[in-house]
Amino acid sequence: MSQITPEIIPSHGIKPDEYAKILEILGREPNLTELGIFSVMWSEHCSYKSSKKWLKTLPTKAPWVICGPGENAGIIDIGDGDAIVFKMESHNHPSFIEPYQGAATGVGGILRDVFTMGARPIANMNALRFGDPSHPKTRHLVAGVVAGIGGYGNCVGVPTVGGETNFHSSYNGNILVNAMTVGLARKDNIFYSAAAGVGNPVVYFGSKTGRDGIHGATMASAEFDEKSEEKRPTVQVGDPFTEKLLIEACLELMATDAIVAIQDMGAAGLTSSSFEMASKGGLGIEMDLDAVPMREEGMTAYEIMLSESQERMLMVLKPGREAEAKAIMDKWELDFAVVGTLTDSGRMVLKRHGAVVADLPIDPLALASPEYDRPWVAPAKRAVIDAKEVKAVCPAEALKTLVACPDLASRRWIYQQYDHMVMGDTVLRPGGDAAVVRIHGTTKAVAITTDVTPRYVLADAYEGGRQAVAEAYRNLSAVGALPMAITDNLNFGNPEKPEIMGQIVEAIRGMGQACRELDFPVVSGNVSLYNETQGTAIQPTPAVGGVGLLEDVTKSVSVPFREEGSNIVLIGETKGWLGASLYLREICGSEEGAPPPVALHRERRAGELVRQLIGDGMVLACHDVSDGGLLVAVAEMSMASAKHLGAQLDAPSSLPLHAWCFGEDQGRYVLEVSDGDLASVLEEAQEHDTAVRVIGKTGGHVISVGGRAVRVDELFAANEAWLPAFMGAEMSGH
Amino acid sequence: MKAAVIVFPGSNCDRDVAVALQASMGAKPLMVWHRDTQLPDLDLIVVPGGFSYGDYLRCGAMAAHSPIMREVKAKADQGTRVLGICNGFQILTETGLLPGVLMRNKDLKFICKDVHLRVESDQTDFCRQYQAGQTVRFPIAHAEGNYFADPETFKAMEGNGQIAFRYCSSLGEVTDGANPNGSLSNVAGVYNARHNVLGLMPHPERLAEDLLGGSDGKAMFDSLVEALS
């Protein structure tokens, strides 16, 4: 009798046309195990079926790119035989349902993607979006996600060095938890996932398989409704201690030459890891599920294949190396089992209790899985807002409001719960433009940032996509690092709606253009769609994780003003763009208007100029101008300085004061420059054909502009107070 | 000076302290796996920070019963210097090498930040390059650093000069506001009665190099090298 009833097919998220295709591929009805395998492999989460067509348009190559998208993570060459391996990945749906475990296992998953390739993880980052602070769930979700990220990363002993957090009502029903890991490998010791060598053993190691997380990938590929809470059993449970052992065991095994191919078990667990390895190698696998280490008795083939139990790996070993590999796993007290053999059949044959329980062709489920060209409509363009039409408020008052608003308030409450110093190489800690982590034992360093401004992407997906990449480029340049490559994490709503698909298409087009013009290729990424609840979509959020290189870490600069009486220099053009700005939203209560345009050629020139000035030692402090505009950037430099050094600014008369102070024009940096270096800085700017203007002096303990002033202490207190007050925690000094 | 660093499954500051030791003593310390049962002749044993055995059961409780800790205890009893940092401090209290216990932080959260410490005594091998009363800056990174000892024990410890460091303000004032985790009497680190074993929650190895934001921690390793070489 058929196991497949009409109810079972849609409950696996399989559409009628997809089921027809399954029948055509198999020439028969699938059994339940096989249907389960199709459902996870063809889920949006695993197959990228809605986005693949557009992702292919992104630039992925450069002379320094060792490995682009398609592997567990991207890899770039940083010279001297060293390589940086990195990727960002979402764990949105599970984190909303069970914030601690959802976020924790998100960190665990992305760590595995990186050490699977032979890299020791050296830094974690995260990009978080929560609902409106007034929403009843927001506080609980922030507390759980932050504790989960810390709980996992702190125990594993990888520093969490930075990230970003936003609040907006569009995330009320769908928070975003995007985690990024950066790892360090030797260029000549990188591991890939393509299986090779018919007859070679397929080996499982790590934790045992349990019944947790079954169908996580399918859950992550559907909209939420009022019953989403019932999906809690599909959220996995993490064990960072085992992950730490797994890292050490993997790296120890990787120091031998026993491994042919290796892949972590992430979404869709044993199914996706085995199918992907076989598909990339053009081979088949015969697997005996009885050999899989199991946490509980009586698990079915369906459950074993769809379990998303954490901290598990699959690898192909060279023949005869099993004992050597097992000895290392024994040392680290991890499970080890030979579960299968590579075949030349191109099929996945699964046995349980001696009988064949699934027999599927591999390619149609993996590399040749469905690809859709979904209908899309370009989002409507918004009107440009004239700054003169926007209400002018006293700049000192507006500044006080802005630095205390949820999107600009200090994130100290968050990053103090993350160990950001373990491993002893964190040179620039959280709170700056980019984190800087030294390459252990050298004078080189990587700079890391995560960026996107979702309100810009909502206002204009193309410009917003360009801006996300440009801001990452800017944040890396602001610490003196050469931007090398990005990873992206594309978070959108339901792609079956043409207007959402339009956001995806346009944002990717914008990102691609920015990447090309800035020589800043995409080397890895992740897509998270269906971030909708009861028909309401999130703001489109294509998060960008950027990585840059500092050849000499001692030359990096950071945000805090350092000296009294030095010059405050603004790089880049200011037109006073207030459309889609924080000033408009927080002071005027409007989210209208076109976002600021990005001029990529100017962006590039400004970045080159700033990096050169920093490299030449002419910059005391540097900060990019982003959310909140120029006055917020200057205030952040004052608040970050230990002595709370103030700034006296001269606004030009050519612009309305509020537009000059709070316009979010792109491509700008604020530099602190000593008198002795000022002439050279101005000259260099001219040579780079980049707008430059001395806008004031550091000194005193107030920020003054246009005849108004506000104490830095007062701003600092307001900036620090919001998040702890919101979370109901006390301030604990320092 | 000959030094060893004990490595448990889940230790994660073992490399960091080895780097700091090497910078002060000019040679790599010996890294000793938790299943080992013997230690060679040594001047210093470091029990590093991290999450030994995942902090399961209770921080440090399982590590305290590992094979190597029997040997560490025997060496400590013979007078070998033992330094426990963060999780290492927790392990030393669980082993009974140091008095008191470390409980959950008062606000129940993990805290990672720089704190100021007042050096209570400069008459030990660990602190001879500091001055008593000096204010130093070390980072903390823990969720269970809330020190407690019963009043009788604590009184005896104070009388015997066993308080090593107290949390204080940047100006050196020992205040409630400067206490990050609720520790009794702002205690950040303690000695055993013989002063050859020191445990502290803050991480001297994390600020032992100016590039990382400060080097107040370096003097502790320099002190040990000076005393034990």
Q: Which of A155, A423, A729 sits opposite B16 (nearest CB)?
A: A423
Burial of B60 (0-12, 13-18, 19+ CB in 10 A): buried
CA-nearest residue to B107 within chain A is: A729
DSSP secondary structure string for all residues of B68-123: HHHHHHHHHHTT-EEEEETHHHHHHHHHTSSSSEEE--TTSS-EEEEEEEEE--S-
Whether A730 shows a pLDDT value over 60: the answer reads: no
Tokens for A249? 């065991």
CB contact under 8 A, A423 and B15: yes
Q: What is the pLDDT of residue A731?
A: 40
pLDDT confidence band for A733 (50 / 70 / 90): very low
In terms of DSSP bridges, do strands A522-528 and A482-491 run parallel, antiparallel, or are they unpaired? parallel
Tokens for A29? 């009805």
Compute the average pLDDT of residues A398-406. Answer: 98
Q: Which residues does residue A312 pair with via DSSP β-bridges, in sequence order?
A: A206
Q: Locate all alpha helices (DSSP H) within A255-405, ordered by sequence.
A: 269-281, 301-306, 322-331, 395-403
CA separation for the pair A492, A221 (Å, rounded): 11
Residues of chain B contacting A150 with CB distance shorter than 8 Å: 110
CA separation for the pair A190, A183 (Å, rounded): 12
Residues of chain A contacting B173 with CB distance shorter than 8 Å: none
Compute the average pLDDT of residues B91-101. Answer: 98
Closest CA relative to residue A720, chosen from A450, A416, A435, A478 = A416
Buried b (16+ CB within 10 A) or exposed e, A671-702: bbbeeebeeebbebbeebebbbbebbbbebeb
Alpha-carbon distance A658 to nearest alpha carbon in chain B (angstroms): 36
Fold for A382-409+557-727, please state it: Phosphoribosyl-aminoimidazole Synthetase; Chain A, domain 2 (3.90.650)
Judge contact between A37 and A369, C-beta under 8 A: no
Whether A216 shows a pLDDT value over 80: the answer reads: no
CA-nearest residue to B211 within chain A is: A427
Query: What length does chain A have?
Result: 734
Q: Report the run of H or E that residue A115 belongs to, with start and end.
A: helix A99-115
Other C-beta atoms within 10 Å of A534: how many? 10
CA separation for the pair A365, A307 (Å, rounded): 18
pLDDT by residue (tens digit) across A677-709?
A: 999 999 999 999 999 999 999 999 999 999 999
CB contact under 8 A, B54 and A155: yes
CB contact under 8 A, B110 and A419: yes
pLDDT by residue (tens digit) across A165-183?
A: 999 999 999 999 999 999 9
In terms of DSSP bridges, do strands B187-191 and B197-200 run parallel, antiparallel, or are they unpaired? antiparallel
Alpha-carbon distance B168 to nearest alpha carbon in chain A (angstroms): 11
DSSP secondary structure string for all residues of A609-652: HHHHHHHTT--SEEEE--TTHHHHHHHHHHHHSTT---EEE---
What ipTM is given for this predicted complex?
A: 0.97
Enumerate the domain spans of chain A.
11-42+192-370, 59-190+421-555, 382-409+557-727
CB contact under 8 A, A421 and B139: yes
- Please report where in the chains the tokens 């959402």 appear, as a residue: A500
CA separation for the pair B135, A702 (Å, rounded): 30
- In CATH, B3-228 is 3.40.50.880: yes
CA-nearest residue to A160 within chain B is: B112
Judge contact between A220 and A124, C-beta under 8 A: no
CB contact under 8 A, A241 and B56: yes
Enumerate the domain spans of chain B.
3-228
DSSP secondary structure string for all residues of A294-308: BSSTT--HHHHHH--
CA-nearest residue to B23 within chain A is: A441
Whether B226 shows a pLDDT value over 60: the answer reads: yes
pLDDT by residue (tens digit) across B8-27?
A: 999 999 999 999 999 999 99
Fold for A59-190+421-555, please state it: 60s Ribosomal Protein L30; Chain: A; (3.30.1330)
Residues of chain A contacting B114 with CB distance shorter than 8 Å: 734
Q: Report the run of H or E that residue A438 belongs to, with start and end.
A: strand A435-438
pLDDT by residue (tens digit) across A86-121?
A: 999 999 999 999 999 999 999 999 999 999 999 999
Residues of chain A with a CB closer than 8 angstroms to some CB in chain B: 147, 150-151, 154-157, 239-242, 244-245, 332-333, 415-427, 429, 438, 553-554, 729-730, 732-734
Q: Which CATH number fits domain A11-42+192-370: 3.90.600.10, 3.90.650.10, 3.40.640.10, 3.40.50.720?
A: 3.90.650.10
* Same fold across A11-42+192-370 and A59-190+421-555: no
CA separation for the pair A89, A526 (Å, rounded): 5
Q: Which of A240, A332, A422 sits opposite B16 (nearest CB)?
A: A422
Percentage of chain A beyond pLDDT 90 is: 91
Judge contact between A634 and A503, C-beta under 8 A: no
Instruction: Of A113-117, A216-220, A487-491, give the lowest mean pLDDT range.
Output: A216-220
Tokens for A2? 């058929």
Residues of chain B contacting A640 with CB distance shorter than 8 Å: none
Q: What is the pLDDT of residue A227?
A: 66
Other C-beta atoms within 10 Å of B162: how many? 26
Amino acid at A573: E
Q: Which residues does residue A482 pair with via DSSP β-bridges, in sequence order?
A: A549
pLDDT by residue (tens digit) across A428-487?
A: 999 999 999 999 999 999 999 999 999 999 999 999 999 999 999 999 999 999 999 999
| Annotated binding-site positions of A | 48, 87, 89-93, 112-113, 236, 264, 308-310, 488, 525-526, 528
Using alpha carbons only, how large is chain A's radius of gyration in Å?
Answer: 26
- Please report where in the chains the tokens 């299986």 appear, as a residue: A195
Handedness of CA A88, A93, A98, A99 (dihedral sign): positive
Q: What is the pLDDT of residue B98?
A: 98
